[in-house]
A and B are shown apart, each in its own frame.
Chain A
Amino acid sequence: ETGVTQTPRHLVMGMTNKKSLKCEQHLGHNAMYWYKQSAKKPLELMFVYSLEERVENNSVPSRFSPECPNSSHLFLHLHTLQPEDSALYLCASSWGPGNTEAFFGQGTRLTVV
Chain B
Amino acid sequence: TQLLEQSPQFLSIQEGENLTVYCNSSSVFSSLQWYRQEPGEGPVLLVTVVTGGEVKKLKRLTFQFGDARKDSSLHITAAQPGDTGLYLCAGVTRKLVFGQGTRLTINP
Contacts and interface: CB of A to CB of B under 8 A. Distances in A.
Contacts of A92: 42
Interface residues of A, number: 21
A102 B37 CA distance: 13
Interface stretch (A42-50, A64-72, A74-82): A42-50
Nearest to B101: A42
Contacts of A57: none
B87 to A, nearest CB: 13
A95 to B, nearest CB: 13
Q: Chain A: interface secondary structure?
A: loop
Contact of A43 (B31, B88, B94): B88
Contacts of A40: 9, 100
A98 B44 contact: no
B46 to A, nearest CB: 11
B42 to A, nearest CB: 3
B101 A99 contact: no
Interface string A75-105: 0000000000000001010000111011111
B81 to A, nearest CB: 21
Interface of B: 4, 9, 30-31, 33, 40-45, 48, 88, 90, 92-101
Question: What 9 A-B pairs come out closest when comparing CB atoms?
Answer: A104-B42, A43-B98, A99-B92, A42-B100, A42-B98, A104-B43, A101-B45, A105-B42, A106-B42
Interface of A: 2, 4, 40-43, 45, 48, 56, 90, 92, 97-99, 101-107
